[in-house]
Every structure is written in structure tokens, then in C-alpha cells.
């Protein structure tokens, strides 16, 4: 008589391999722009501007010229993430093999990788909100306005008047970047921190187009010490890929110091709490932070859409 295993389910060893986390493209916009801490709700970016009226050097006092003090309000949104894990749930799955003996478990058996995963997700969310946040949207992006919403909304004190349009393809992307550079206002052309922020998809398309053009003097990011960042050939403008603009087909150019990111404590979106709640018999995760964005001078911004 042969062996009959029709009543069995094929064996799968669920404990041999280590638990791995999903790789998330982290946010890095705040590495390049102005970060303004200590904001609980709204703070002012104080601006001084003046005009000079010269006259012939004759005797007398002829008053002319104006010094103007203005402000841009930088408002932050208060955000949080709350999550709970009932450890008893883990006892009925392969995760029971990771747990300590006894019925009074108080620790997530994969705590280290859990914390790494949350840190990656928070970093990504912060960057996405910096650019694509829109209180008229839905889901996570509805929590706070980002730069795209500021550029297209009517509530912002100022307007982005330098607009470049087009559809990025391998054949057009170089011309589009050149048009963005050409649209940068002449008043800031001598700034040392001129940048174009774009998504990784736009950046990759641009890099490939430059390589395929076989430019004799072209040196890509690998020769400029950059990580998804390089100088636009023949200019003083650096193009930088950021996660928050992925899939948007949008880009922004200005001096990096013209972009402001507001928060409360600088560490708020990097530090979170994980503890065991005796009252609820579960492990709880909490992250609280504030964030908001603004431009000091919107007329110095180039918006590609």
C-alpha cells in the first residue's frame, strides 16, 4: 500500500528566515533647506527689502528710497501616529517561536526591526508632506499643505510667477531643465545655493538623457561626490532628487535658503516612544511632531508643472 498524504498541508518552515522590513526611500529634503525650530503654531519669517534712489552729488538733502519690512507666516500642523500591538495575537502564529516563555510577555520579539521600519516610514511621510501635502486631498497627504499646494493655492501671501511647463521625456527633459534654469530670476543668479528639486524619476530620466547625449564634458553624480544630485552642466545650479516629488512631474528651483521647513523640536520627527501599557496589556507606539513649509520670497521660485 502506498503512502497517502492527501489530508496533509505541505510544510512551510516559517521560522527559519529572519523577519525583514520593506525598504522605503527615505526623505532628505530638510538636509538642504532652511529648518526653523521652536514653532508651536505660527511664526513669522521676517524679511527686509529696500530700494535705492540715487541722485547727483550736489549740496542739500533730498530724501529718496524706501526700506520695507515684511513677513511670511510659517504655520505648522500638529501630527501624530498611534499604534498598538496585542502580544497575545502573536502567540497563535509563527511569531510565538520568537517570544519568551510565560504569559506575561511585555516586549515585541522583533522590536529592533519594528523600530527601524517605523523610522523609515516617518522619514518618508515627512518628505511627502513637505512637497505633496494638501489639506484638500485625502489620506495622509490631507494633514498639512506642502510646497505644491502653496504654489497653486490662493491662501499664500505671495505668488509663484515663474512657471515652466512641459512633459518630461527622454527627448525633452534636458530642454525642460534648461528652461527651468533660464527662468530663475536674475536677482538671485549669483547665489551659491541655487537648486532644482525634483523627483527621483525625473532625475533619473534627466541623467540618462545627459549620458545618452554623450556630452564630452559631462560628469555625472558619480564624479561630483553626489548621491542623486549633480550640477546642471554649464551652470551654478544643482539638481537634487527628493522622494516627496516622486510621480508628480513637478520641480521647483530657487536658492535652497529660500525654502523654509518649520517644526517644534528638531528631534520630534526622529524620536518616538514605544512602551508596554499594563492597563491595556499591549505594546503602544507613539510619534508626535509638527511641520510646515513656506518660501521667504515666492517671486524667486521657479515652478515646473
The residue among 294, 279, 296, 277 whose CA lies nearest residue 82 is 277
3-state secondary structure 162-220: EEECCCCCCCCHHHHHHHHHHHCCHHHCCCCCEEEEECHHHHHHHHHHHHHCCCCCCCC
Q: What is the pLDDT of residue 16?
A: 45
- Check whether 291 has a pLDDT greater than 90: yes
Mean pLDDT of 206-226: 76
Q: What is the pLDDT of residue 276?
A: 87
Q: Rounded distance, CA 68 to CA 31, Å?
A: 31
DSSP, residue by residue, 113-180? HHHHHHHHHHHHHHHHHHHH--TTS-GGGGGS--HHHHHH-SSSSS---EEE-----TTTHHHHHHHH
- Check whether 46 has a pLDDT greater than 60: yes
The predicted-structure confidence for 223-251, as pLDDT tens digits, reads as follows 666 789 999 998 999 999 999 999 999 99
Q: Are strands 251-255 and 194-198 parallel, antiparallel or unpaired?
A: antiparallel
Residue 285 sits at φ, ψ, to 5 deg, of -120, 135
Domain ranges of the chain: 29-51+65-304
Least confident piece of the model among 8-17, 214-223, 260-269, 275-284: 8-17
Mean pLDDT of 253-272: 89
- Check whether 259 has a pLDDT greater than 70: yes
Indicate the CATH number for domain 29-51+65-304.
3.90.1690
Mean pLDDT of 258-277: 86
Q: Which three cell numbers stand for residue 9?
A: 498541508
DSSP class of residue 88? H
Q: What is the pLDDT of residue 114?
A: 83
Radius of gyration of the chain (CA): 26
Amino acid at each position: 500500500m502506498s503512502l497517502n498524504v492527501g489530508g496533509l498541508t505541505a510544510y512551510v518552515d516559517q521560522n527559519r528566515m529572519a523577519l525583514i522590513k520593506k525598504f522605503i526611500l527615505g526623505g532628505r529634503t530638510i538636509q538642504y533647506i532652511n529648518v526653523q525650530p521652536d514653532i508651536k503654531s505660527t511664526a513669522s519669517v521676517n524679511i527686509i527689502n529696500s530700494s535705492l534712489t540715487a541722485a547727483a552729488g550736489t549740496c542739500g538733502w533730498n530724501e529718496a528710497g524706501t526700506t520695507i519690512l515684511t513677513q511670511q507666516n510659517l504655520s505648522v500642523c500638529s501630527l501624530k501616529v498611534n499604534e498598538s500591538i496585542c502580544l497575545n495575537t502573536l502567540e497563535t502564529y509563527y511569531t510565538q517561536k520568537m517570544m519568551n516563555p510565560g504569559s506575561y510577555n511585555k516586549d515585541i520579539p522583533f522590536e529592533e526591526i519594528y523600530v527601524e521600519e517605523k523610522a523609515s516610514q516617518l522619514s518618508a511621510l515627512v518628505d511627502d508632506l513637505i512637497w505633496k501635502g494638501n489639506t484638500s486631498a485625502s489620506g495622509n497627504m490631507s494633514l498639512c499643505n506642502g510646497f505644491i499646494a502653496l504654489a497653486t493655492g490662493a491662501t499664500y501671501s505671495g505668488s509663484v510667477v515663474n512657471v515652466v511647463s512641459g512633459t518630461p521625456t527622454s527627448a525633452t527633459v534636458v530642454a525642460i531643465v534648461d528652461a527651468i534654469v533660464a527662468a530663475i530670476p536674475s536677482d538671485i543668479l549669483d547665489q551659491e545655493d541655487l537648486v532644482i528639486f525634483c523627483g527621483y524619476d525625473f532625475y533619473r530620466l534627466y541623467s540618462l538623457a545627459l549620458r545618452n547625449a554623450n556630452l564630452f564634458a559631462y560628469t555625472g553624480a558619480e564624479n561630483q561626490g553626489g548621491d542623486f544630485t549633480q550640477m546642471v552642466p554649464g551652470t551654478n545650479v544643482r539638481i537634487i532628487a527628493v522622494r516627496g516629488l516622486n510621480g508628480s512631474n513637478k520641480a521647483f528651483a530657487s536658492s535652497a535658503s529660500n525654502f523654509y521647513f518649520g517644526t517644534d523640536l528638531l528631534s520630534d520627527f526622529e524620536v518616538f516612544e514605544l512602551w508596554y501599557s499594563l492597563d491595556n496589556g499591549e505594546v503602544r507606539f507613539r510619534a508626535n511632531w509638527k511641520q510646515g513649509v513656506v518660501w521667504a520670497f515666492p517671486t524667486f521660485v521657479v515652478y515646473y508643472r
